[in-house]
Structure 1
């Protein structure tokens, strides 16, 4: 697994091998990550963004965003294996001053202590209903800015939730990607 483009292009990140089923780590492939960022960059969503990476796993999505010009990234994951991988990958990229690791369950975030985030990556363990709970809690806690883009990876297509507008939906093998935008309700 490597950074695809931008400042850290070609940098190899700490590996989880084929994934860690016990820790629910399932890294997004380079091919899918490239497609996701193509979709986001065509909307001007990455440069200067504050990124919230929920169920961050290895941190590859948030770090890819930083490589492509995002301003800051916060990584949320409660798994010890994931937290170690995120710390190692932050160190590899030298982005300690622009990142924050939040050691919490993404479905149990406290209120946001600072400005809300305009780009949210959501890659929960597949098929457990955790994505919707994490979005509900994040929105209620002030983590998600009005107009924020949400990129949700799941094993099935995700319908837009109340307060979110569906912008795009695509399938890459067994991964369904849904792009939504937060709207006022």
Structure 2
């Protein structure tokens, strides 16, 4: 069972696609959001959830106070599930008295989204939990296209299988932390310089 861990929609159960996704465990999600909270990246932030799957990462951010979340998922069935989950989370938040955030589900590939993203719209947090079979070259292309649409103090998370190598960070992003949780590794990066 996948659920929202904390915040205005805490304990709300989420649908998960029957196949093709690998939901982040509660333990790892709690570690991700403890880190973001300690860095001041929960309240009022703009969050990208790339390779959204069920939307659990982005919707957790929404529950915890993000002002806007874009959930990018190319598989039609998964995108429908993300949309239903987002509606449930937004309904729970609106009933909590918290300010109404925005959530947008975009059914397209991550690379297509990043290549077309307006450069004047900047994001505070990017969460990438790509499929295990995504090549290192594809991930590097994602990160290269992502760097110009991040705020100067943005945080970037890449969640990968423990056997995967460290992502290839483009100019403008630098690794700040690596943490393993069983078969999962979290790679945290931040802006290292202004990217034009």
TM-score (norm 1): 0.88
1:172 and 2:162 equivalent?
A: no
Residue 124 (structure 1) aligned to one of 126, 130, 135? 130
Q: Match for residue 133 of structure 1?
A: 141
Match of 2:159 among 144, 153, 162: 153
1:68-87 matches, within 5 Å, as 68-87=64-83
Deviations 1:45-70 (A, max 9, x none): 11111001111111110110011111
Deviation per residue, 1:119-146 (Å, 9 max, x gap): 000111125223222121223xx43222
- Name 2:118's counterpart in structure 1: 112
Mapped partners of 1:7, 1:70: distance in 2: 11
Q: For residues 78 and 16 of structure 1, do their structure 2 counterparts lie closer, same or farther at Cα, with a shift above 3 Å needed?
A: closer
Secondary structure at 1:124 match in 2: coil
Structure 2 CA distance, aligned partners of 1:126 and 1:180?
20
* Contact residue 16 and residue 23 of structure 2 kept, 8 A: no
Q: Match of 1:45?
A: 41
Q: Larger deviation: 175-184 or 156-165? A: 156-165
Structure having the larger proportion of residues in helix: 2
1:100 aligns with 2:104: yes
1:55 matched residue in structure 2 = 51
1:16 aligns with 2:22: no
Quick check: 2:123–2:151 contact (8 Å CA) kept in 1? yes
Instruction: Give the paired residue count.
Output: 178
What root-mean-square deviation, in Å, do the aligned CA atoms of Structure 1 and Structure 2 show? 1.9
Moved more, 77-86 or 127-136: 127-136
8 Å Cα contact 2:176/2:188 also seen in 1: yes
Check conservation: 2:128, 2:158, Cα contact below 8 A.
yes
